[in-house]
């Protein structure tokens, strides 16, 4: 993987332990702890080093070079331009006044998933004390001093010399971006943040310790960190002096300058030279300064005599076999650099991007085009299938052919010769290996790779003659040799490299995890020596068994967790290492799982039957998802065994997120491939030598019959119990002894031979879901029984999601506060001790409602000052005092807290603390007599949680959908929205029932369609899984195409094609024992019919989701529910990993089936894995969002810039969260008027979304729309239109036309077309938008009024005043009824109506004049208004939720004064109360408040 390269580190010892040698194959020289790749992976040429791109690899010092080569381009692209993000001047530190209201983009859990991480509950973040600046850390900060590189000029290929600007990695960059002067070391104070803390340790406890406040009885789990981290609250980050330039002297080219930084390593200069256009063909060289060779792994600052202007000479080194292989692989990569086949085949973390097809290259260049409308006339006509109302949904435009993909042929064949390896006597002449080449001119040559370089020999295909040919053209690089023997190669290779370096770096950097494409065009299969070599070596596991070459995954995963994390540089280094190892482990585990299912790995227990076999490959342990030895007999057998791995993975995710020092989990990846589920785990040292019974010292190996415990495990797990809400409890073992646990009984503790404490089998980390676990003799609450629960599920491992547990606890916490406040106030009012009727533990509903109403009055009467303390704050204060136990609290107040605790089910009577016992209702687990009360309370709590899911979370989801707070567009986004609220997918049927019964049923039409499609495809996936298990490899494509025909084709009786002759020959080999699992020579799949499949789908939907589907064929489903076959095809392909041929399928033909076996190209694995997070970066991001919501755009922009740098540091250049960061940055730059910067950031966001999430993911569609807006603002009208057309095509494919988001998209298209005077086309889109808006928002909504107004404007431009008047009147009526006569919108509309009437009258007069006087009439010229670009842009901003508010100087003064006053008030409150942040998570600020309530954005 290109970004897998390892480079610099902070401390030399770590560098020693961590860093590999130059190449990627370097296991012989040093076995790295975090080696970059398995020994045989390619030394990818395009490792882009650049400022802030740890694409540069994970332990790299991310200060890239501003070279003129393509890496400088990366610096420019991946780093951030400081030009508009370093704000100097007085307002940089003070409050920037709001200039704008930002609507949709700023909610943290907005539908585009702005980095909403489940683990970071905002309430757990304490506000920083204003004086807390960052304290000094003496060690160098090389691993984080990301330089921000200005983008100007980076696309200018010819610029040598220093890069345009070096910023610093922290938010306030002083110094102009244009200068390259070294900047002084500065100290930096982090701005005082709103109610979001800039988390400085991993825990908020650090701050509490400093501030001297005691631990409050806060909602458990909001402190995500560990008290063990003794970090100081202040860190000063020392910003290093910036870089200098050196001269590079390479053979055969002019010397050139390269900008470097003292923290970089010599190795990084190697990478830059291997990527530069003019030096890319060299791999085996060293750098010399004044005749002395520089060590690869030394930092530049440690090189004596290296300074500004020093000359580094490139010296060619002799080859070894390893270096020769690296060289050949590098040349192959250069030849294939524009070839998309790796992306289509899903290898080496390549993925697709099509943005450049629609922008004609890079947007930066096109910005220099002529402005405005004097551009060449542009063709605005969209393809027919994009127009509103079109029924056609073609598939081919999904992957348009990029003209760069018809690669220039440099060679016909480059392959290893059959004469390898050289015989002994030739080895002693220096021969390393032989290559065979056919040039483009059809000349066949044999080439010797020797220690001195490459030369032609006299061998032929059948005759070995290693003597040099004459002339032999000895060249140090293979490219130079080929240049001499093939003129075509010389010409085409040069053009190819030019194109390669011109591509946007984000199109070529590898992604951290593999993204697979569900369609691909028909590709030519070409010879490829490297691919062939990989297929026979690393991929099948020969090399994985050579000692010293394999990676010890477990050691790597655990060592990275043990890295120090006391300050920001250390945490960044640690998080980067963790992320890197996880992504490598996931790739290796996926490859291994596929090899296991394909039958290419030998089992460690080959004599057992196939389902029970286990495998070890590349130091990873693989097991299949079947119930071996009746382990899950009581839980549902094979079905339970299938779902246990994903539950276990969720447990691993959770414990990793809590991140307790000393507690270790296994690396875990779950792979679904060809109908099988494979679990891949790292191996605990020593576990294979011992019996399980001896190893397990905590937990139970037989689901609770024998149970053991261990004090060290109890201590470690106790630290996780608070954030995970797990109750420490006692259970009985088989000898009726009490055993104490702090997890479920299945959780096992094993101490490895390395002395580490591992926990595994975390499948019941979370409490059971009683709605799907009928327990005899237990009654569920009324809400559950009303909804038809409990239902029997196929297995008994149904758990509540962590998000649900968190939401439930939060809900109870608010209730606790209200109840206590209510009682305090009643006490205060009556001055008599009253303990309300709360003692019984039930909540009288009157108390609940009263508490809500009665919190208000308290506020005013408490104190005369503006800072009144509400009843809730009093409770909080009281609760804190009681928790600190200082004895000053009067007994009545204690009673209040005790009652409130009892009422909400808290386990403590002095503080709010809700925890769950995960073993309740677990079959086979018994509890001691003494705990019966606790068990009863716990059972009640579980029932309440099950009821909470049905009575709060599902209705809340439907309400959010009705209000369009979330806008899912396909199955994946709907699932995401459900999971964020803690609703498991098995509740999908219930969600759809509620949608059907909702009074706003029409407004939820899109949700219903997506839900039904998801339900059908999930049911089909369940059937497909068992269907595939009976298919032999030779019949795979026939079986898959047959299934797709039965599922989607209207052809009534598709027949499966059995490869008959092959089947016969297979029958004879039936004796083979070691067949891949399920190779049952079974042709039962061939008899499936569409009727049977759809009957099974309906049965599955009823059985699993409890939803009745009214359809018995695909055509009926399409008709009944308004679905699209192409959408169903996309959903089923993504869910099962099928890849189909890119062509038009005739689904509706009744004469022939839609799919043939040639249409099924591949089947990919579907992989679930842990996603390690960048915690510090995320807190910066949240703080930036909070600042922006308060209206402080510049400070927000700086914090988000900072977050971007930190994300880059941890994740490398490509990641979903970086995408969210770039989108928000682009929006902020746009609002602040810097269109070029907005365009550049948004272009990166689109490319990244395409590469990391998929080319047609709903997120990508959103990004395309934003980019189109910024293009229009930059006068790139034709680009804006093509981007909008692309977005519309993708939305049609993913969902169809009838989606609320389509209205926004069509309004955008209509407005742009109006701007370029394509009125008729514009009307088609705007009228469609009006229809969709009316359907989803109701005819009286303000959005509908705006839509009417947009249509009226186009009619006005066409001089059709009657229609214009009609639409504007509709709009006026809505404004008048909704906002009243005096509202400015109503007045504006009224004015516009007058204006239209006058124009209509004028036109009528003119027409009359013509009728009276004929053609000789004296006609005053009519004023037809062509819309101005400014007015179109204003309207675009309004519909996209961006409202600029014009403020006069006086307004600004008042506003500044108001902001200052509020600031002082907050300071006073903070100093007086010394209280922490509110314990309850504050509701997210509504975007409407974004600019301190200046103006009301109703129209948007």
- pLDDT, one tens digit per residue, over 1070-1121 is 444 445 554 444 677 888 999 999 999 999 999 999 999 999 999 999 999 9
Which neighbouring-strand residues pair with 444? Answer: 438
Sign of the four-CA dihedral 1272, 1273, 1275, 1279: negative
Please tell me what DSSP assigns to residue 1408.
H
Question: What is the DSSP pairing of strand 431-439 with strand 738-741?
Answer: unpaired
Question: What is the DSSP pairing of strand 1138-1141 with strand 1160-1163?
Answer: antiparallel
Name the residue with higher pLDDT: 890 or 269.
269
- Give the 3-state secondary structure of residue 521: coil
According to the model, what pLDDT value does residue 1076 have? 53
According to the model, what pLDDT value does residue 1059 have? 63
Nearest to 741 by CA among 730, 725, 726: 730
* CA–CA gap between residue 1223 and residue 1227 (Å, rounded): 6
For residue 192, pLDDT over 60 is answered with no
- pLDDT, one tens digit per residue, over 729-754 is 999 988 889 999 999 999 999 999 99
SS3 content of the chain, % helix, strand, coil (to 5): 50, 10, 45
Best mean pLDDT range from 108-112, 972-976, 1418-1422? 972-976
- DSSP class per residue in 814-835: HHHHHHHHHHHHHHHHH-S---
- Counting every residue written for the chain, the total comes to 1500
Question: Quick one: tokens of 428?
Answer: 């002693």
Query: Rg of the chain over CA atoms, in angstroms?
Result: 34
For residue 1467, pLDDT over 60 is answered with yes
Angle between helices 1258-1273 and 1216-1231 (to 10 degrees): 30
Question: Quick one: tokens of 145?
Answer: 């001093």
As a whole-number percent, the residues of the chain with pLDDT over 90 amount to 54
- Give the 3-state secondary structure of residue 181: coil
Secondary structure of 324-377 as H, E, C letters: HHHHHHHHHHHHCCCCCHHHHHCCCCCCCCCHHHHHCCCHHHHCCCCCHHHCCC
Sign of the four-CA dihedral 1448, 1449, 1455, 1459: positive
Name the residue with higher pLDDT: 512 or 77.
512
Q: What average pLDDT does this structure show over 129-152?
A: 34
For residue 1156, pLDDT over 90 is answered with yes
> Which residues make Cβ contacts (< 8 Å) with residue 1374, sequence separation at least 6?
1340, 1341, 1342, 1344, 1345, 1348
Q: What average pLDDT does this structure show over 419-448?
A: 93
Average pLDDT, the chain: 78
**For the chain, how far is it from start to end, CA to CA, in angstroms?**
45
* CA–CA gap between residue 1200 and residue 1177 (Å, rounded): 9
* CA–CA gap between residue 1101 and residue 1096 (Å, rounded): 8
According to the model, what pLDDT value does residue 951 have? 95
As a whole-number percent, the residues of the chain with pLDDT over 70 amount to 72
Res. 19 pLDDT band, cuts 50 70 90: very low
Question: Quick one: tokens of 1417?
Answer: 């009439």
Question: Quick one: tokens of 719?
Answer: 């630290």
38 sits in the region (left: phi over 0; alpha: psi -120 to 50; else beta) called beta
* CA–CA gap between residue 332 and residue 276 (Å, rounded): 16
Name the residue with higher pLDDT: 368 or 959.
959
What pTM was computed for the model? 0.79
For residue 1407, pLDDT over 90 is answered with no
- pLDDT, one tens digit per residue, over 596-625 is 999 889 999 999 888 889 999 999 999 999
Res. 336 pLDDT band, cuts 50 70 90: confident
Question: Quick one: tokens of 1299?
Answer: 């989606």
């Amino acid at each position: 993987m290109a970004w897998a390269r390892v480079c610099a580190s902070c401390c030399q010892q770590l560098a020693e332990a961590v860093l590999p040698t130059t190449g990627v194959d370097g296991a012989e020289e040093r076995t790295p702890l975090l080696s970059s790749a398995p020994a045989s992976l390619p030394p990818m040429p395009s490792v882009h080093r650049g400022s802030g791109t740890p694409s540069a690899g994970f332990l790299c010092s991310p200060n890239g070079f501003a070279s003129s080569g393509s890496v400088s381009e990366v610096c420019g692209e991946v780093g951030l331009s400081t030009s508009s993000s370093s704000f100097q001047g007085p307002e940089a530190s003070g409050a920037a006044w709001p200039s704008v209201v930002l609507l949709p983009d700023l909610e943290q859990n907005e539908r585009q998933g702005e980095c909403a991480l489940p683990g970071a509950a905002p309430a757990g973040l304490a506000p920083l004390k204003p004086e807390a600046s960052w304290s000094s850390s003496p060690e160098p900060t090389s691993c984080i001093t990301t330089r921000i590189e200005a983008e100007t000029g980076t696309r200018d290929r010819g610029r040598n010399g220093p890069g345009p600007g070096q910023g610093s990695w922290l938010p306030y960059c002083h110094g102009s971006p244009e200068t390259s002067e070294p900047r002084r070391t500065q100290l930096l104070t982090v701005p005082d943040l709103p109610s979001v803390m800039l988390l400085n340790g991993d825990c908020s406890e650090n701050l509490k310790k400093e501030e001297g406040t005691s631990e409050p009885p806060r909602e458990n789990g909001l402190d995500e960190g560990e008290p063990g981290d003794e970090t100081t609250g202040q860190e000063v980050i020392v910003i290093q002096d910036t870089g200098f330039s050196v001269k590079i002297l390479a053979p055969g080219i002019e010397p050139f300058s390269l900008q470097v930084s003292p923290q970089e390593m010599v190795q990084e200069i190697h990478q830059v030279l291997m990527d530069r256009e003019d030096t890319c063909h060299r791999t085996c060289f060293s750098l010399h300064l004044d005749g002395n060779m520089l060590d690869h792994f030394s930092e530049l600052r440690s090189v004596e005599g290296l300074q500004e202007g020093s000359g580094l000479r490139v010296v060619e080194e002799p080859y070894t076999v390893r270096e020769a292989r690296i060289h050949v692989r590098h040349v192959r990569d250069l030849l294939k650099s524009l070839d998309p086949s790796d992306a289509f085949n899903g290898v080496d973390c390549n993925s697709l991007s099509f943005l450049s097809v629609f922008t004609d290259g890079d947007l930066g260049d096109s910005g220099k085009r002529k402005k405005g409308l004097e551009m060449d006339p542009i063709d605005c006509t969209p393809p027919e299938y994009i127009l509103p109302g079109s029924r056609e949904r073609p598939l081919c435009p999904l992957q348009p052919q990029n003209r760069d993909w018809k690669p220039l042929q440099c060679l016909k064949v480059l392959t290893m010769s059959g004469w390898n390896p050289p015989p002994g006597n030739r080895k002693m002449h220096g021969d390393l290996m032989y290559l065979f080449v056919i040039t483009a001119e059809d000349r066949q040559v044999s080439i010797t790779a020797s220690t001195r370089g490459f030369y032609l020999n006299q061998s032929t295909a059948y005759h070995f003659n290693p003597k040099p040919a004459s002339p032999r053209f000895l060249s140090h690089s293979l490219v130079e040799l080929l240049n001499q023997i093939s003129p075509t190669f010389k010409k085409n290779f040069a053009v190819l490299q030019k194109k390669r370096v011109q591509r946007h770096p984000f199109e070529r950097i590898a992604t951290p995890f593999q993204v697979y494409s569900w369609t691909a065009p028909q590709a030519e299969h070409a010879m490829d020596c490297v691919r062939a070599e990989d297929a026979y070596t690393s991929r099948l596991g020969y090399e994985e068994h050579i000692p010293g070459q394999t990676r010890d995954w477990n050691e790597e995963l655990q060592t990275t967790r043990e890295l120090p994390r006391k300050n920001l540089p250390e945490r960044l280094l640690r998080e980067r290492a963790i992320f890197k190892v996880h992504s490598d482990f996931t790739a290796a585990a996926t490859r291994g799982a596929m090899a296991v299912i394909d039958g290419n790995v030998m089992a460690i227990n080959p004599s057992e039957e196939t389902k029970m076999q286990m495998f070890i490959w590349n130091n990873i342990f693989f097991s299949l998802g079947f119930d071996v030895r009746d382990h899950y007999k009581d839980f549902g057998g094979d079905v339970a065994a299938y779902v246990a791995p994903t539950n276990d993975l969720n447990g691993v995710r959770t414990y990793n997120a809590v991140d307790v020092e000393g507690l270790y989990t296994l690396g875990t990846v779950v792979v679904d491939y060809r109908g099988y589920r494979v679990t891949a785990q790292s191996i605990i040292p020593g576990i294979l030598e011992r019996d399980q019974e001896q190893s397990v010292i905590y937990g139970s190996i037989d689901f609770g019959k024998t149970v053991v415990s261990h004090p060290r495990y109890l201590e470690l797990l106790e630290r996780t119990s608070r954030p995970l809400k797990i109750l420490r409890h006692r259970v009985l073992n088989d000898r009726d002894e009490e055993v104490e646990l702090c997890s479920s009984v299945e959780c096992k503790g094993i101490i490895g031979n390395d002395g580490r404490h591992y926990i595994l089998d975390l499948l019941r980390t979370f409490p059971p879901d009683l709605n799907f676990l009928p327990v005899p003799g237990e009654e569920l609450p009324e809400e559950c029984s009303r909804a038809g629960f409990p239902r029997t599920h196929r297995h008994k491992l149904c758990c509540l999601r962590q998000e649900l547990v968190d939401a439930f606890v939060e809900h109870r916490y608010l209730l606790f506060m209200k109840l206590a406040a209510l009682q305090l106030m009643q006490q205060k009012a009556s001055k008599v001790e009253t303990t309300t009727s709360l003692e019984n533990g039930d909540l009288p509903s009157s108390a609940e409602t009263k508490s809500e109403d009665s919190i208000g009055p308290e506020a005013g009467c408490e104190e005369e000052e503006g800072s009144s303390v509400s009843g809730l704050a009093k409770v909080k204060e009281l609760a804190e005092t009681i928790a600190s136990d200082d004895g000053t609290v009067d007994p009545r107040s204690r009673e209040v807290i005790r009652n409130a605790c009892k009422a909400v089910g808290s386990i403590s009577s002095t503080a709010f603390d809700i925890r769950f016992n995960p073993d309740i209702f677990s079959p086979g687990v018994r509890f001691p007599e003494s705990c019966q009360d606790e068990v009863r309370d716990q059972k009640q709590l579980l029932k309440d949680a099950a009821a909470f899911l049905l009575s709060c979370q599902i209705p809340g989801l439907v309400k959010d959908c009705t209000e369009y707070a979330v806008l899912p567009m396909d199955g994946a986004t709907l699932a995401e929205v459900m999971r964020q609220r803690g609703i498991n997918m098995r509740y999908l049927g219930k969600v759809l029932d509620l949608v059907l019964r909702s009074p706003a049923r029409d407004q939820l039409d899109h949700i219903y369609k997506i839900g039904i499609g998801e339900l059908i495809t999930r049911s089909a996936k369940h059937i497909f899984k068992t269907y595939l298990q009976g298919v032999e490899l030779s019949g795979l494509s026939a079986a898959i195409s047959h299934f797709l025909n039965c599922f989607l084709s209207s052809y009534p009786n598709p027949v499966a094609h059995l490869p008959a002759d092959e089947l016969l020959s297979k029958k004879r080999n039936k004796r083979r024992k070691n067949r891949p699992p399920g190779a049952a020579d079974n042709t039962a799949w061939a008899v499936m019919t569409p009727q049977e499949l759809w009957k099974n789908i309906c049965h599955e939907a009823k059985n699993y989701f409890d939803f009745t589907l009214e359809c018995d064929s695909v055509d009926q489903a399409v008709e009944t529910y308004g679905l699209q076959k192409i959408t169903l095809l996309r959903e089923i392909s993504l869910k099962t990993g099928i890849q189909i041929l890119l062509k038009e399928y005739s689904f509706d033909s009744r004469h022939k089936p839609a799919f043939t076996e040639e249409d099924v190209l591949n089947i990919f694995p579907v992989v679930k894995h842990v996603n390690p997070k960048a915690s510090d970066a995320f807190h910066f991001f949240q703080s930036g969002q909070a600042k922006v919501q308060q209206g402080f755009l510049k400070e927000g922009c700086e914090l988000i810039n900072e977050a971007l740098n930190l994300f880059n540091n941890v994740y490398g250049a490509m990641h979903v969260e970086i995408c969210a960061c770039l989108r928000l940055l682009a929006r902020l730059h746009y609002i602040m008027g810097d269109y070029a910067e907005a365009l550049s950031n948004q272009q990166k966001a689109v490319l990244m979304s395409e590469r990391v999430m998929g080319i047609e993911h709903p997120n990508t569609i959103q990004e395309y729309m934003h980019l189109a807006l910024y293009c229009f603002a930059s006068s790139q009208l034709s680009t804006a239109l093509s981007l909008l057309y692309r977005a519309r095509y993708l939305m049609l494919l993913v969902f169809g036309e009838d989606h609320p988001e389509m209205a926004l998209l069509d309004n955008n298209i209509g407005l742009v077309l109006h701007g370029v005077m394509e009125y008729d086309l514009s009307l088609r889109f705007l009228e469609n938008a009006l229809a969709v808006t009316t359907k989803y928002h109701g005819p009286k909504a303000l959005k509908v009024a705006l839509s009417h107004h947009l249509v009226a404007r186009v009619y006005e431009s066409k001089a059709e005043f009657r229609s214009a008047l009609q639409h504007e009147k509709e709009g006026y009526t809505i404004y008048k009824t909704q906002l009243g006569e005096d509202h400015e919108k109503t007045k504006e509309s009224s004015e516009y109506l007058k204006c239209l009437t006058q124009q209509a009258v004028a036109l009528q007069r003119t027409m009359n004049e013509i009728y009276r006087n004929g053609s000789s009439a004296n006609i005053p010229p009519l004023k037809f208004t062509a819309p101005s670009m400014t007015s179109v842009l204003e309207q675009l901003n309004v519909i996209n939720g961006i409202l600029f508010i014009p403020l006069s100087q006086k307004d600004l003064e008042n506003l500044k004064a108001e902001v200052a006053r509020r600031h002082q008030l907050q300071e006073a409150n903070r100093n007086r109360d010394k209280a922490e942040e509110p314990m309850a998570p504050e509701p997210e600020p509504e975007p409407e408040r974004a600019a301190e309530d200046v103006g009301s954005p109703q129209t948007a």
